[in-house]
Structure 1
Amino acid sequence: MGFEVSVISSDENTTILYLKLENSVGEEELLKTSSIAKLKGIEAIELDQLNKRLTISYSSDLIGPRKIISELESSGVQTSLLDEKEKQAFELKNSDITNSYRSFLWSLVFTIPVFFTSMVFSYIPSFKHGFLERRVVNMLTFGTLFRGVLSTPVQFVIGWKFYIGAYKAMKMHCANMDCLVVVGTNAAYFYSVYVVIRSSTSKDFDNEDFFETTTMLISFILLGKYLVALSKGRTSDAISKLMKLAPETARLMVYDEEGRLTAEEVIDRRLVEKNDLVKVLPGEKVSVDGLVVVGESQVDESMITGESKWVSKANGDEVIGGTMNGSGVLQVRVTCVGSDTAVSRIIRLVEGAQMEKAPVQKLADRISQYFVPLVVGCGIATWTCWYTLGMLDLYPGEWVPTYMDKFELALQFGISVVVVACPCALGLATPTAVMVGTGVGASQGVLIKGGQALENSHKVNCVVFDKTGTLTAGKPTVVTTNLLTNMTLLEFYQLVAATEVNSEHPLAKAMVEHAKIHAQMQAWPEACDFESFTGHGVKATINEKRVLIGNKGLMQKFDHDIPSVAIDFLDAAQCLGHTAVLVAVDGHVVGVIAISDPVKPEARKVVSILKRMGLKTLMVTGDSQLTANVVAKEVGIDFVMAEAKPEEKAQKIRELQREGLTVAMVGDGINDSPALAVADVGMAIGAGSDIAIEVANIVLMRSNLEDVVTAIDLSTKSFNRIRLNYVWALAYNVMAIPIAAGALYPFVRFRLPPWVAGAAMGASSVSVVCSSLLLKYYKRPRELDSLELQGIQVK
């Protein structure tokens, strides 16, 4: 069908402030009474008086939101920050889905009575010979006039968007689906108007109108547009969730002119300006991007890195808004606000990548570039041929019905050609297959978000995997325990669990969980004098025993000697990509615990199947090179990119695309969202973050990597079904056009009347829908049930 587009500014230095007006003010009054427009850094002001919204674009390097609001208030303009829910509700009013749904419903209101009076009631004797056939004037019946009145708003009000689309296409010297809709519906409508005029002025003219055809055509096309809008990914949901990562408020430290702290104010995060000093308390989310100037703490940056690790922060270190602060108090100097923040940069990557993708409906417009002029040409040629034959008396006069002349007979043949060739089936070919395919995918544990995923997935020849939570389970577990003394395993884990239960670190949770399950412990002694050392480990006193658990640095800090056998265990664990933790009791190292995030059991099988299918496989992760190499070797992936930031992951995807590869990215974390959006097909693990799920084109709802193969196979079959639908729709036209042109008329005196043309159009649409419904019988590839690969039997 084609979609309307608009240009979106991508100026990274511009921040937008959304305000709600509390008092009435005009645009001229706003500019005259306040000096807001004269402030340095103000770039644009937009006033929406109807919704009482004020939108101000400004440079965050030159001015801040508090200064802007203060200037407005000093001029008597009372404002408040626009609530996010109000902003989303306002934008929803203008959404493509809402508009498409409203247009379709209104067209249906007019089309249903037109359809019934033309194609249902006319076959019921009590209606046909009653109210509908009652004559208004001469041969004009009430039924014809009724249909004409109802079809007019459908043609020129509801269908106005088709005129706009056709006009824009003609300005670009091309023909799209809108052009064919306009030509077909106008031919049917204006011929019907001609019938109304002739019927009202003649006592023997008794021809049929095409009013039901024009309303049905427009309604079918609008239904197709609505289904397309439903199947499109909703970027706004992902963006909304990204914006919610950071807390709503910030604790602003206020200083006087002499640099003395005068107050601490809790303000809306959107009012924070560059160089502000913000305090972050223990357990709070960091509200801003900035540099630590006072304090030490641990910060969970898994929302950005994707790795469950606490990162030490001290004076001069960078912190990111939305990350979780640990046990320390931090004072942060704000360095980035608005569009410059880390979350905003991720949002821009997501928006930009999704805007670049072309929907599969583009194929219909490519077909119509040749189909539209061909159909119009056929209609004109048909009318010319029949009219010329009639004027030259090259066919018998009895061929012309008594209520027609030769011109009208030729005109009806020409219009029938254009009407019967209207693109109802073409308009439904894509959205019906998309809707059925996505429904089948959901039943298979694969959520496919629209046409672009179907269009791109069948061309995928490279699959890029994230590691943590994608190839691995995403839950650290204890894999080996090496005791260096005669202490029993139960005694050892009693001390470990009693100490680590006080820590929130993922490794601590893994050790406690291991103690519960494998050491059969559900309770342990109470820890005294517990202390956590940021980035190193913990210590406590358990039953008068001093327990120290952590890395080599922590042992050295407390002057604990590490025996050579423990060093050997550490080296062995690191070579396997495990995290090794030392345990000391009363100054002596008594054990080494190796912790690993296990690879999913199906990972190696899936990678093998993908290779068998001829697809290239890679792994891109934010984890260390050593750990990444071990996991890659275990699952059979040859290329590894480790210690990659979100932007670097997205850049790697672009490099692969520049090499001519069609890339699918499989990930689960927020840090994967830029790469998921940049990839031709983004696949998110269902157990992953909500942001990754919203951004991705395909969601693996069962978190099973086997569904990567299912997703590619189902998308291929769905897109092939779309192609088949196009073939069927065009084949229908190839067969119907000659009949509408009168190819059978010389032999059987058969003309294609309006209701038959409408029924044929409907039948072609139904056939396309039935073709799409065959996707419901999809079965996932047999290779996932039983496949012998390299001597391994997979069942």
Structure 2
Amino acid sequence: MTTLEESCTCCRLCTLEDEERTGSPRGSGVPEPEHHEANGDDHPDHADHTDHEQMFRRRFWVCMVVGLPVLIWSSTIQGWFNYAAPEFTGSFLIVPVFATFIFFYGGFPFLSMAKWELRAGKPAMMTLISLAIVVAYGFSIATEFADTGDDFFWELVTLIDIMLLGHWMEMRSVRQASGALGALADLMPDTVDIVGDDGEVEKRSLAELQVDDVFLVRPGESVAADGEVVSGASDVNEAMITGESRPADKKVGDRVIGGTVNSGSGSLRVSTTAVGSDTSLAGIMALVAAAQESKSPTQLLADRAASLLFYAAVAAAVLTGLVWTAIDGGFEPETIARIVTVLVIACPHALGLAIPLVIANTTAIAARHGTLIRNREAIDTARNLQIIAFDKTGTLTTGEIGVVDIATIDGVIDVDALAATAAVEGDSEHPLATAIRDAASRRSLVIPSTTDFSVQKGIGASAIVGGEKLQVGGPRLVESLSVPLPYSLAEFTEASGKEGRTVIYLVRAGNPEAAFALADVVREESRSAIEVLHGMEVQVAMLTGDSHDVAASVSKELNIDRVFAQVLPADKERRIVELQETGESVGMVGDGVNDAPALVRADIGIAIGSGTDVAVQSADLVLVKNNPLDVPRIMKLSAASYRKQLQNIWWGAGYNILMIPLAAGILAPWGFLMPPAIGAVVMSISTIVVAVNAQLLRRVDLSLT
């Protein structure tokens, strides 16, 4: 991945957009647009690419409409298709006047960006486009006043419109990849309920919250800032920060993190310990921003080819002028036509669409297979991934607690025990109770009716089922009994504990008769995905905020190569850096806020579609179907897409290089001189070849068998 600034020329457009909005150039004393500041980005001029996309889209459609009369009244096109355009007073001005408008209005972005390339001493695509349209326009205007040959107005307008279309597509992909920090900020509430010294609660703006203020967090609300619980008790979902799938039990004296959610049934009063940029969430935002800025730059293949083609075209044009001047014994008007033909042939009609057309097809193919491409650079990089680092919770696993194993004493059937336990837990709101009920529902079990449901705080729940009192609870329930655990259940409990699983028990008439192990459920597709990746000689790593026992259990089940457990957000990013320092190309697959820095830091960031907005916005690729098998599938598509890009580069640039000598008149001794109009047609043919070749990508086979 590259930074957004380096992945395209879009950041050079900020000046153009500001001038277009304010009507004056930067540095003129006119205030900068306020929308940049609102983003809070360290690089305000690059904060929002929506304006760039809209600029290219607007100019494309305007030039498309204005360009149609140029094509209709072009004498060259009329001659090709043997028709006569209507003539009326002033109709002879349609082509030059409309083409002049398109040259200045549609060509302005390319001419301006070419200035940046030339200043940097790196002429590339923008310079080559600008050279072609300037020469085509200048020569065409000259034909209006002197007999120098056919004009290039029709070629000028089509070239500009094609380039505007290609850059509109590019800006759209960049704009879609720029929302990670905004999604992080959305985790924080806009207002906070501050508790006064008299106990009264007053709703205020989050900006008014100060360190040592006490604020109220009701069930379902987000924690406004980092702090310490001073009153109340509840469960808090911290998965977006820690990666731990189970809600954390919070009571007086415990610390809470801003942006997490009170998922329990109790309210919390929290004393603020950090606000603003000092909070944990702000730290994660800083990591995401820093990771984006630190990406190593890569140059697009098309830009490299355009840079070489620029020098080749200029050299060929100069050589053409010198050679024909020597042959003719002086500079003749026909020499100008040959020079123009060389430069038009070199114009990157096909090269400008070589990559966007392939990316457009790749995006459509990926979407059909459940993957959204948010960063076009990812398609180039994914094929080279050598290590895939998966977040555990919500990625390799479902992110939800479920029943993963059942043990019973002799004479008790596991499904009967599960149905009875689900009956007791029928009225409970505890997450473990929900997991028990879901397990019974998936098995389509008939749940018996209950009466006299009650909860013993810290022990468990009880109810009358079928005339008998049944109890359900954890280790404390067993400790309260006067009998030891049966051997089979004790052995099951010990094995489950080593794997980091939570165990609850079903007790009938004071005797435990069943035990249920609950844990984050592994996705059915995860094992197959890892097997396929191993078959592709790709290593698999797992990053998780869970304990070593839980991580080891999942690793053993899925045959994972490397495991990093109890990893905090900053540590996840550092682990990615450690993997990259081995020289390997690393992909990161995650779904939570805590994965965002690692997703951005990785060579390719891949988000699970059901994950948080922050993870999705930070990623290059999004797995809509939440299927880990789509990871090796997108790597296979990446390889096919890259091959097509290479082919199109060679068609676009190679075709030009082959035709430049012909345009220069290398076959003149044999009586062949290429007219400028034929050069323009030849250039258009190369565009058709590139377009057809890009469509052939749709035949790629992405099966993993």
Output the CA distance in 2 between the equivalents of 1:654 and 1:608: 25
Is 1:412 the counterpart of 2:418? The answer is no
Match of 2:516 in 1: 593
Match of 1:3 in 2: 9
Work out the number of aligned pairs and report it: 678
* AA of the residue aligned to 1:3: T
Q: Secondary structure at the match of 1:526?
A: strand
C-alpha distance after superposition, 1:10-53 (max 9, x if no partner): xxxxxxxxxxxxxxxxxxxxxxxxxxxxxxxxxxxx99798799
> In 1, Cα distance between the equivalents of 2:327 and 2:269?
91
Match of 2:503 among 575, 580, 583: 580
Q: Deviations over 1:89-125 (max 9, x none)?
A: x987953221221122222233222122225334466
CA separation of 1:682 and 1:635: change in aligned 2, threshold 3 A: same
SS at match of 1:750: coil
1:131 equivalent to 2:76? Answer no
Q: Give the distance between the partners of 1:233 and 1:53, measured in 2 at CA.
A: 14
Structure 1 CA distance for aligned equivalents of residues 663 and 286 of structure 2: 52
Aligned to 1:230: 172
1:389 aligns with 2:389: no
Structure 2 residue aligned with 1:738: 661
Using the alignment, how far apart are the partners of 2:40 and 2:292 within structure 1?
24
1:120 is aligned to 77
Q: Is the 8 A contact 1:305 1:646 kept in 2?
A: yes
Question: Which residue number corresponds to residue 212 of structure 1?
Answer: 154
Separation (CA, whole Å) in 2 of partners of 1:94 and 1:48? 20
The one-letter amino acid of 1:376's match is: V
**Aligned pairs for 1:369-768 within 5 A:** 369-391=307-329, 407-484=332-409, 492-493=417-418, 496-516=421-441, 518=443, 520-533=445-458, 538-542=460-464, 548-553=471-476, 555-556=478-479, 558=480, 562-563=484-485, 565=487, 566-584=489-507, 588-754=511-677, 756-768=678-690
**TM-score (normalised: structure 2):** 0.87
Residues of 2 paired with 1:615 and 1:417: CA distance? 47
> Structure 1 pair 642/91, CA: closer, same or farther in 2 (3 Å)?
closer
Which structure has more RCO (C-alpha within 8 Å, separation ≥ 6)? 2
Deviations 1:202-228 (A, max 9, x none): xxx373212222222222211111121
Distance in 1 (alpha carbons) for counterparts of 2:294 and 2:49 = 24
Q: 1:511 to 1:600 in 2, by over 3 A?
A: same
Inter-partner Cα distance in structure 2 for 1:733 and 1:54? 44
Note closer, same or farther for the CA distance 1:353–1:49 as it changes in structure 2 (3 Å cut).
closer
- Is the contact between residue 646 and residue 672 of structure 1 (CA under 8 Å) also seen in structure 2? yes
Q: Is the 8 A contact 1:212 1:758 kept in 2?
A: no
Q: Are the aligned partners of 2:49 and 2:171 in contact in 1 as well (CA < 8 Å)? A: no
Give the 3 Å change call, closer, same or farther, for CA 159–361 of structure 1 in structure 2.
farther
Shift of 1:656: 0.9
Distance in 2 between the 1:560 and 1:750 partners? 105
Q: Distance in 2 between matches of 1:428 and 1:673?
A: 32
The Cα of 1:673 is off from its aligned counterpart by 2.6
- Structure-2 change in CA distance of 1:559 and 1:646 (3 Å): same
Structure 1 residue 723 displacement after superposition:
1.1
Is structure 2 residue 249 aligned with structure 1 residue 301?
Answer: no
What is the rounded CA distance, in whole Å, between the counterparts of 1:56 and 1:515 in structure 2?
Answer: 48
Change (3 A) 1:2 1:579: closer
Give the gaps of 5 or more residues in structure 1. Answer: 9-45, 59-89, 137-141, 199-204, 393-405, 786-795
Structure 1 residue 486: Cα displacement: 6.8
CA RMSD, 1 decimal = 3.4
1:109 and 2:65 aligned:
yes
Query: Which amino acid in the other structure matches residue 758 of structure 1?
Result: A
Q: Is the 1:361–1:451 contact (alpha carbons within 8 Å) kept by the matching residues of 2? A: no
Superposed counterparts of 1:189-208, under 5 Å? 189-198=137-146, 205=147, 207-208=149-150
Aligned AA (2:370): G
1:546–1:320 CA distance, 2 compared to 1 (3 A): farther
CA separation in 2, counterparts of 1:49 and 1:220? Answer: 31
Write out per-residue CA displacement over residues 177-215 of structure 1, whole angstroms, 9 at most, x where no aligned residue.
Answer: 1111222211111122222222xxxxxx37321222222
CA change 1:298–1:532 in 2 (3 A) is farther
1:457/1:712 contact within 8 Å kept:
yes
Match of 2:265 among 308, 327, 330: 327
The 3 A distance-change label for structure 1 pair 480 and 456 is closer
DSSP 3-state at the match of 1:308: coil
1:265 CA displacement:
1.2
Deviations for 1:524-549, whole angstroms, at most 9, x for unmatched residues? 3134332443xxx6334536977554
Change over 3 Å in CA distance of 1:55–1:518 after alignment to 2: closer
- SS of corresponding position for 2:332: helix
Change (3 A) 1:51 1:456: closer
Q: Which residue of 1 aligns with 2:209?
A: 272
Q: Which amino acid aligns with 1:573?
A: S
Question: Closer, same or farther in 2 for the Cα pair 1:752/1:497, shift >3 Å?
Answer: same
SS of equivalent to 1:188: helix
Instruction: Find the counterpart in structure 2 of residue 43 from structure 1.
Output: none
Q: For 1:713, what is the secondary structure of its paired residue?
A: helix
**8 Å CA contact 2:461, 2:471 repeated in 1:** yes
Q: Which residue of 2 aligns with 1:175?
A: 123
Cα deviations across residues 378-406 of structure 1 (Å, max 9, x unaligned)? 111101211121116xxxxxxxxxxxxx5
> What secondary structure does 2:515 align onto?
strand
Query: Which secondary structure does the structure 2 equivalent of 1:250 belong to?
Result: strand
Q: Which amino acid aligns with 1:343?
A: L
Distance in 1 (CA, whole Å) between partners of 2:509 and 2:112 is 82
Query: Residue 778 of structure 1: CA displacement?
Result: 0.8
1:127 partner SS:
coil
**Residue 308 of structure 1 contacts residue 506 of structure 1 at CA under 8 Å; is this kept in 2?**
no
Residue range with higher mean Cα deviation, 603-612 or 428-437? 603-612
**AA in 2 matched with 1:252:** I
What residue number does 1:346 align with?
Answer: 284
More helix by share: 2
Paired amino acid for 1:247: P
Asked if structure 2 preserves the Cα contact closer than 8 Å seen for 1:420 and 1:736, the reply is yes
| 2:681 counterpart letter in structure 1 | A
Question: Structure 1 residue 152: deviation in Å?
Answer: 1.8
- 2:368 and 2:558 map into 1 onto residues whose CA distance is 27
Give the C-alpha shift of residue 628 in structure 1.
Answer: 1.5
In structure 2, stretches of 5+ residues that fail to align are 1-6, 15-28
Take 2:49 and 2:584, find their aligned partners in 1: how far apart are those partners? 39
Rounded to whole Å, the distance in 2 between the matches of 1:50 and 1:243 is: 21
The equivalent position to 2:227 in structure 1, one of 290, 295, 303, is: 290
| Counterparts of 2:208 and 2:53, CA distance in 1 | 33
Structure 2 counterpart of 1:163, from 111, 117, 138 = 111
CA distance in 2, matches of 1:610, 1:54: 44
CA deviations 1:338-357 (Å, max 9, x no partner) are: 33333333333334434555
Which amino acid counterpart does residue 628 of structure 2 have in structure 1?
L
Q: Which amino acid aligns with 2:193?
A: R
Say if 1:115 and 1:354 are closer, same or farther in 2 by CA, change over 3 A.
farther
Give 2:252's aligned residue.
315
Distance 2:37 2:557 in 1: 57
| Greater alpha carbon shift after TM alignment, 671-680 vs 492-501 | 492-501
Distance 1:560 1:283, change over 3 A: farther
Gap change, CA 1:356 and 1:214, over 3 Å in 2: farther
Partner of 2:97: 149
1:361 CA drift (Å): 6.2
User: Aligned letter for 2:204?
Assistant: I
Matching residue's letter, 1:108? M
